[in-house]
Amino acid sequence: MTSAWPGVPEGCSRYLPVTSSAAVDAGAVHRWHVLDNAALLPADVEPAGTLLCVHGNPTWSYLWRSLLEPAARRTAEEGGPWRVIAVDQLDMGLSARTGPRRLADRVTDLGDLTHALGVTGPVVTVGHDWGGSISLGWALDHPDLLAGVVLTNTAVHQPTGTPIPWPLRLALHPAVHRPGTVGTTAFIDVTLGLARPALDPAVRRAYRTPYRHTRRRGGVGQFVADIPVDAGTPSFPELDRIAEGIRALTVPALMLWGPEDPIFSDRYLRDLIDRLPHADVHRFEGAGHLVIEDAPVAATVLDWLDRRLPADRPDTDQGRGSRLTLADRDHRPLWATLEERADDTATAVVDMGGPGGTAARLGWDALAARVDRLRRGLLAVGVRPGHRISLLVPPGIDLTCLIYASLRLGAVIVVADAGLGPRGLSRAVRGAGPDWVIGIDRALVAARAFGWPGRRIAMRTPDPVTRRVLGVDHSLAEVLAAGDAAPAPADPGHEPQPDDPAAILFTSGSTGPAKGVAYTHRQLAAMCRAVSTTYGLAPGTALVAAFAPFALLGPALGATSVSPAMDVTAPATLTASALADAAAAVEATAVFASPAALVNVLATAEGLDGVQRETLARVDLLLSAGAPIGEPLLTAVAALVPHARLHTPYGMTEALPITDIDLPGIRAAAADALVAPGSAGTVTGAGNGVCVGTPVPGARVAISAFDAAGSPVGDPSGVPGVSGEILVAAPHVKDHYDRLYRTEAAAFDRGWHRTGDVGHLDAAGRLWVEGRLQHVLSTSAGPVTPVEAEQRMSTVDGVARTALVGVGPAGAQVAVAVVETDPGARTDGPAPRHTAQALRSALAPVLPHLDLAAVLQVRRLPTDIRHNSKVDRTALAGWAADVLAGKRVSAP
């Protein structure tokens, strides 16, 4: 019979009689069906434990098929095999039909089954949908056997006064309930239709197997009827017992979630996190209710078992050790400078985006006072230490004050900018699950439209209609007024500790969905210290912060900071005049801007007058980060700031800065890399990649070398000339990825953070970045990193920008060059023959083994939406594959 169930190994299906002790039919004997991998386990190896897997409605044990064989085949190095018992609850799947059963009956039923099977510990419960509540009920009743819990898209609590999800309300409606759940397969079909992507037809048929006839679907309707809608529902007391009882669970816990679930949405995940705050969490972006079908849940569960059980293993604290711990005496919180300079009237912050384009200013005294007013006001309206506050406010005085007030009271700031685009920003905010959203009108409109969680504070005071429509709880002015009314105690009250959570900062989303990067107060302070030590930024510095992270650090550094008139979510909106005007407003000595911003500054430099040029000539330090930056761009910038030291730090949202290099250093690295044409592994005059310098004080860099297939498997090493994934460690490396257990597990490696960038170290200890790991070509001749070829192709006349992508299966990919020409091409598709020949001629002397299968042209290379400087090679590779397959499609 199992041949009809794709993915279920032979010998795993079994039936057994079980005597019921449930109140509804105590003493009755029922025939249960389970999927049990005991027959697959090695005969001479004791299982590490048992995974007790419980389905919900209207699925059955088939839901857990992906665990059966992999769990049984795990080696000793992987933690050993696990027995998997996936049950069919009574009235469900292939188990006996018994009549109506309540939640408490089902919890008792599960205990009867495990007793009949002779299950002993350790047991890890695994639940989905209402199987989550039932499995947790079993966990509370069997603490002597319990070793851990795994939950996937489930719920244990329905907030008072909040309606249950609309699909369940519809299913409970008298006109729909019986026809939709029992009389037809509608409820089953809708549930199976939630899979992303759609289920294979054979898998869909297997799910429907136990429910083909009306008489077999009674349990589906009963399950819906038993939903604890409110306190008056019969099963509510049992659900409440479970919901409150799990707060005392201390065993390892894992939550794997499909955020696109219309039933068990993120609000239920946030509730579970509140009840099990120690749990590991991973949200699979794009996955939905059937997350087990949509995402690699089985692989994640098995990896987690190895990392977390037994709980006392010394290496189980993965994801919390990538930093180098500092002594407490080295910790200086970001707000310390504000409190020390509370009586200083000198200018602290300037905002060039003031009313009518005027510059708004605050002295150190006014800044400290406003931050304290906001801190007291936020506390007065209900913000508490540990609350997450999503700040959707443009850089400037208001954002600066909100950041420091939030950090000072112990709240966690969530920063994700509009440059992610509506969908990306919504994913980020929903993923972070803020308790509060503070934003401009546009952000609050998005919060309402996309259903973001959190109480809302508007930057301006709305009229009554707008307040009601947008769900605004308070305005910024009202928060400040509440702060004025609140008493000013001699001490600030709660004192955030160094290792308390401080910030969730979102990545650019240039290599997939944006990730929330979690920092503690200690790590933010270490970042500030790294910047100060590396660049000498200190009190007396006047800083133009045209790069958002440095708007955060300026006051902590004691530097006078100015935000230029620009849209920081679109760096290319920074003009040369705006930069010069901002510099003049504070007599700037330092400038920080992204490469994309600098490109537009150069493009608009002709509009500068003499005074503006003189202002820029007084700048003595210019920093640019966000993407590796080459010597030609820095040389052009040097003409605008002729007396400045030009530095380009390398780092990422997870750690900035890690390495640093200045313009003379870049030229020296290029000279050292100069080789005769034909030498392997380098580009004449440039070297293989972009040189980003040597580690900043306190940071370390290593390389995990590639194997023949292009996988970085080598131990961390500093051997020169070996390409692989770049690994970094520093006091200011992030703490972990927020609610992305799987991502964090892959990124954390024995105290190192795996960056996902690829490169090598040279003999002088300098780091060269060769691209991103996901963009490495896996060819039959071995791995090929893209940057070297791209740099060489960019020297060809008429070529503005280039990308090298791989097309085909791993291990047999072919190289395809995609170019943006100057002047721009009119169509997307194959490049002219003369362009293709020129590119191949440019590559032949330095990369003789790289054979371009095709050369394509695009009107414009796609870039990430935040920095506008990172080419989207993944999108290009998909497009190139379509073109080579003969499809006429426009470039992404």
- Secondary structure string (H, E, C) spanning 130-178: HHHHHHHHHHHHCCCCEEEEEEECCCCCCCCCCCCCHHHHHHHCCCCHH
- Helix, strand or coil, per DSSP, at residue 755: strand
* Cβ-contact 650, 692 below 8 angstroms: yes
Quick one: DSSP state of residue 472?
Answer: E
Where does the pLDDT of residue 595 fall: very low under 50, low under 70, confident under 90, or very high at 90 and above? Answer: confident
Where does the pLDDT of residue 329 fall: very low under 50, low under 70, confident under 90, or very high at 90 and above? Answer: low
My answer on whether omega of the bond before 695 falls inside 30° of 0, hence cis, is no
* Cβ-contact 174, 150 below 8 angstroms: no
The CATH number given to 777-884 is: 3.30.300.30
How many beta carbons lie within 10 A of that of residue 750, not counting itself? 12
Nearest to 238 by CA among 91, 151, 110: 110
Give pLDDT tens digits for 778-822. Answer: 998 889 999 888 888 988 998 888 999 999 998 899 999 999 988
* Cβ-contact 760, 701 below 8 angstroms: no
Nearest to 136 by CA among 240, 291, 18, 257: 240
Q: Top-level CATH class of 652-732+748-773?
A: mainly beta
- Helix, strand or coil, per DSSP, at residue 737: strand
Please report the beta strands in 492-558, taking only residues with DSSP state E, as ranges in sequence order.
501-506, 516-520, 542-546
Q: What is the pLDDT of residue 163?
A: 83
Judged against a pLDDT cut of 60, whether residue 773 lies above it is answered with yes
Please report the beta strands in 55-96, taking only residues with DSSP state E, as ranges in sequence order.
83-87
Give pLDDT tens digits for 172-206. Answer: 888 888 999 999 999 999 999 999 999 999 999 99
Quick one: DSSP state of residue 717?
Answer: B
Q: Kindly list the domain boundaries of the chain, sorted by start residue.
A: 2-161+230-308, 652-732+748-773, 777-884
Where does the pLDDT of residue 864 fall: very low under 50, low under 70, confident under 90, or very high at 90 and above? Answer: low
Residues 6+ apart with CB under 8 A from 313: none
Judged against a pLDDT cut of 60, whether residue 375 lies above it is answered with yes
Burial 561-581 (b: 16+ CB within 10 A, else e): bbbbbbebbbbbbbbbbbbbb
Residues 6+ apart with CB under 8 A from 268: 153, 154, 155, 157
- Helix, strand or coil, per DSSP, at residue 628: coil
Sign of torsion over alpha carbons 668, 669, 672, 676: negative
Q: Bridge partners of 347?
A: 363
* Cβ-contact 849, 781 below 8 angstroms: yes
Question: Look-up: residue for tokens 């546009």?
Answer: 442
For 390, the token pair is 């999503």
23, burial (CB in 10 Å: exposed 0-12, middle 13-18, buried 19+): exposed
* Cβ-contact 788, 770 below 8 angstroms: yes
- Helix, strand or coil, per DSSP, at residue 412: strand
777-779 vs 748-749, strand pairing mode: unpaired
- Helix, strand or coil, per DSSP, at residue 543: strand
Quick one: DSSP state of residue 816?
Answer: E
Q: Top-level CATH class of 2-161+230-308?
A: alpha beta
Give pLDDT tens digits for 281-306. Answer: 999 999 999 999 999 999 999 999 99
Where does the pLDDT of residue 532 fall: very low under 50, low under 70, confident under 90, or very high at 90 and above? Answer: very high
- Helix, strand or coil, per DSSP, at residue 537: coil
Residues 6+ apart with CB under 8 A from 279: 253, 254, 255, 272, 273
CA distance 155 to 759: 45
